[in-house]
């Protein structure tokens, strides 16, 4: 029953390979969509080119007052709840939502006038963000559990990968170029080791963001609803539910309240102003702090009496474990990051994505040398190989395709935002068919070429279909649009280079069949 | 046919046992951890957060343990042994909880 005991490195290597392989396709998709989500706001702005470019909005107190006035006079006079999200350097518009007799509604407002601005119907960067942990076309709860299980597998793959790696320090400085499997192994190891703290942090903190779902037992064993509410209150700010009837009346001036908040936290520190009708027929005004102010995301807010303007509650402290949670949550989301840190996030996360991709490719490279007949591999090998192509090369193509849909779909298509998303999945499915039908090497080259073309032509499409094309955005200082188009070109060049290298690649066993056996034993 | 099936079951039983120990035994240990921290001398909110934060590390360590040891039996024994003090802590920390 017991086979000869094997070394720890061998068992950990097996654990690493199989936990990795089982979830790597979904992990790759989670990582890549998560990577671009560090620029979620920027993607949303780029996908709504009608909205005004970033301006210098007035100070928060006046701005908040102007928006509240616009809400109470024009947009939602009968509201029992109003919520106003102030503009940021990354998102120049005001997002409002409210609740009245007919339910919830939302709108985007011009910070200068308080008037409604309309843009094309799109989910923008929110789609990639949501797909990153909810997936799509399945209930959110399933998506979150699938993402959670994948993250646990990833954590195990990281730990077992480190144990497997016997010379972690030496190999750090080792790279054997052009040596087939050894190069893939060195590349996979370099990407993993260089980014190890990031990969571990981002995987663990990903679990932390949804830990109330995955590990509710401590909370559930405490029967007190107050304590349960206090726990969720350390994760995200949630307004008390508004009274269902009647409108907010006799509201105090909002500007002085925002001023008080800025006096406590600093200028530009207010994220949102939320007003609810309270049970005593008055109102409550909650002012929340921007998450760009600190790493931790534990909510910081002030609650005022909406009639007298008196401060009712100030939430400005959390316990050590609650704050630890907030720091991990914050590290995962990177909302505190300035532009430079955001790019570092993007690149580290891209390294993580590439690490997963190289692990997947390594699985096939290692087994290809042992195939009895390289022309006719067994089913499992073919399955992994084809799924690799459709995931690693097909997903970026589909993502670029969604940006094309955003520019090309007529503005009056009903359910336009959903159509963009359907097109994304249709394109991805087409890539799967393509990968299944073409010879593998051709499929790799063609899909990376298609991705390169789709990305490279996006700035041209943007120039033709909007007034914010690259030449104009560069000269007028529209940095978001200019940066976005330039980033697309850089990603296109990367895809092209991968396609070029794949096309020129000669499989090693064709040249040196004799050495194949000795190469195959590496871990 | 039946013989070869039995043979296959016998050959793969230890691995299947380990996989079950890793997935479900590991989760059970993590869940116990998330409740056991209620015995910590701190307020309930921090204790709950400490438990949730620790649970994923315990889960990871448990899975690595299950595949690192010599046999499936040892894997289960290790999980049970680690679970006992956690269970005691749960009982200790749970006193007066249902108020």
* Banded model confidence at residue A245, pLDDT cuts 50, 70, 90: low
Q: Which of A306-315, A401-410, A480-489 has the lowest mean pLDDT?
A: A306-315
Q: Which residues of A touch B64 (CB under 8 A)?
A: 12, 15, 156, 159-160, 163
pLDDT-above-90 percentage for chain A: 67
| Number of C-beta neighbours around residue A178 at 10 A | 8
In this prediction, residues A74-98 reach a mean pLDDT of: 89
Q: Which residues of B touch A211 (CB under 8 A)?
A: 52-53, 55-56
Query: Does position A124 have pLDDT exceeding 60, yes or no?
Result: yes
Query: Does position A504 have pLDDT exceeding 60, yes or no?
Result: yes
CA–centroid distance for A479 within its chain: 21
pLDDT in the model for residue A150: 97
pLDDT in the model for residue A375: 81
- β-strand pairing of A94-100 with A270-277: unpaired
d(CA B94, CA B87): 10
Over the stretch B55-85, which tens digit does the pLDDT of each residue have? Answer: 999 999 999 999 999 999 999 999 999 999 9
Query: Does position A283 have pLDDT exceeding 50, yes or no?
Result: yes
Contact A387, A436 (CB under 8 A): no
In this prediction, residues A206-220 reach a mean pLDDT of: 95
Give the bridge partners for A106, in sequence order: A97
Say which residue, A116 or A510, is predicted with more confidence.
A116
Q: Which residues of B touch A17 (CB under 8 A)?
A: none
In this prediction, residues A199-210 reach a mean pLDDT of: 96
Over the stretch A323-357, which tens digit does the pLDDT of each residue have? Answer: 999 999 999 999 999 999 999 999 999 999 999 99
Query: Does position A170 have pLDDT exceeding 80, yes or no?
Result: no
* Banded model confidence at residue A172, pLDDT cuts 50, 70, 90: low
ipTM value, please give it. Answer: 0.92
pTM score of the predicted model? 0.91
Query: Does position A477 have pLDDT exceeding 90, yes or no?
Result: no
pLDDT in the model for residue B54: 97
d(CA A382, CA A328): 39
Query: Does position A243 have pLDDT exceeding 60, yes or no?
Result: yes
Q: Which residues of B touch A321 (CB under 8 A)?
A: 42, 45-50, 53
pLDDT in the model for residue A190: 77
pLDDT-above-90 percentage for chain B: 74
A321:B47 CB<8 A: yes
* Banded model confidence at residue A173, pLDDT cuts 50, 70, 90: low
Question: Within an 8 Å CB–CB cutoff, is residue A229 touching chain B?
Answer: no
| Number of C-beta neighbours around residue B4 at 10 A | 8
Question: Within an 8 Å CB–CB cutoff, is residue A14 touching chain B?
Answer: yes
Contact B48, A231 (CB under 8 A): yes
Chain mean pLDDT for chain A: 89
Query: Does position A100 have pLDDT exceeding 90, yes or no?
Result: no
User: Which among A152, A159, A322 is the nearest to B45, CB-wise?
Assistant: A322
Over the stretch A42-79, which tens digit does the pLDDT of each residue have? Answer: 999 999 999 877 676 788 999 999 999 999 888 888 88
Task: Provide the shortest C-alpha distance from residue B25 to chain A (in Å).
Answer: 14
Question: What is the number of H-type helices and E-type strands within chain A?
Answer: 21, 7
């Amino acid at each position: 029953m017991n086979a000869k005991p094997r070394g720890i490195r061998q068992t950990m290597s097996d654990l690493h390979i199989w936990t990795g392989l089982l979830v790597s396709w979904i992990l790759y998709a989670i990582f890549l969509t998560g990577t671009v989500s560090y620029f979620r706001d920027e993607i949303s702005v780029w996908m709504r080119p009608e909205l005004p470019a970033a301006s210098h909005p007035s100070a928060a107190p006046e701005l908040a007052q102007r928006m509240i006035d616009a809400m109470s006079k024009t947009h939602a006079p009968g509201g029992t709840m109003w919520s106003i999200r102030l503009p940021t350097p990354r998102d120049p518009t005001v997002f409002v939502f409210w609740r009245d007799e007919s339910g919830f509604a939302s709108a985007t407002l011009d910070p200068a006038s308080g008037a409604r601005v309309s843009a094309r119907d799109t989910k923008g960067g929110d789609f990639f963000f949501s797909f990153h942990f909810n997936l799509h076309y399945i209930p959110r709860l399933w998506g979150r559990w699938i993402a959670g299980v994948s993250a646990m597998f990833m954590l195990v793959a990281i730990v077992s990968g480190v144990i497997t790696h016997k010379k972690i320090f030496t190999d750090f400085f080792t790279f054997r170029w052009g040596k087939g499997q050894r190069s893939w192994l060195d590349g996979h190891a370099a990407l993993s080791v260089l980014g190890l703290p990031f990969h571990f942090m981002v995987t663990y903190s990903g679990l932390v963001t949804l830990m109330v779902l995955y590990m509710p037992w401590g909370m559930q064993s405490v029967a007190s609803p107050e304590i349960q509410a206090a726990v969720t209150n350390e994760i995200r700010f949630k307004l008390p539910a508004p009274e269902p009837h009647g409108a907010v009346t006799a509201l105090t001036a909002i500007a002085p309240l925002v001023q008080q908040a800025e006096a406590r936290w600093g200028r530009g520190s207010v994220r949102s102003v939320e007003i609810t009708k309270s049970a005593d027929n008055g109102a409550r005004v909650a002012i929340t702090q921007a998450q760009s102010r600190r790493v931790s995301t534990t909510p910081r807010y002030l609650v005022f009496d909406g009639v007298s303007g008196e401060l009712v509650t100030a939430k400005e402290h959390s316990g050590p474990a609650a704050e630890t949670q907030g720091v991990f949550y914050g590290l995962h989301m990177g909302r505190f990051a300035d532009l430079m840190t955001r790019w570092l996030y993007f690149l580290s996360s891209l390294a993580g994505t590439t690490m997963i991709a190289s692990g997947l490719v390594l699985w096939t490279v290692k087994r290809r040398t042992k195939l009895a007949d390289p022309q006719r591999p067994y089913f499992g090998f073919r399955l992994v190989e084809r799924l690799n192509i459709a995931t690693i090369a097909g997903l970026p193509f589909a993502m670029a395709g969604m940006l094309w849909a955003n520019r090309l779909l007529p503005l009056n298509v009903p359910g336009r935002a959903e159509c963009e998303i359907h097109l994304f999945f249709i394109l991805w499915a087409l890539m799967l068919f393509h990968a299944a039908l073409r010879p593998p090497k051709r499929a790799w080259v063609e899909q990376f070429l298609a991705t390169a073309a789709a990305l490279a032509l996006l700035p041209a499409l943007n120039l033709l279909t909007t007034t914010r094309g690259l030449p104009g955005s560069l000269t007028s200082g529209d940095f978001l649009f200019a940066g976005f188009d330039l980033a697309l070109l850089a990603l296109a060049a990367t895809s092209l280079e991968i396609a070029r290298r794949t096309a020129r690649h000669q499989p090693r066993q064709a040249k040196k069949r004799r050495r194949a056996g000795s190469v195959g034993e590496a871990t | 046919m039946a013989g070869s099936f039995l043979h296959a079951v016998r050959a793969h039983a230890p691995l299947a046992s380990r996989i079950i120990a890793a997935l479900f035994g590991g989760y059970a240990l993590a869940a116990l951890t998330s409740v056991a921290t209620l015995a910590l001398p701190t307020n309930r909110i921090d204790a709950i957060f400490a438990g949730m934060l620790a649970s994923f590390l315990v889960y990871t360590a448990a899975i690595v343990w299950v595949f690192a040891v010599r046999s499936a039996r040892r894997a289960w024994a290790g999980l049970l042994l680690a679970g006992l003090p956690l269970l005691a802590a749960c009982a200790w920390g749970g006193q007066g909880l249902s108020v």
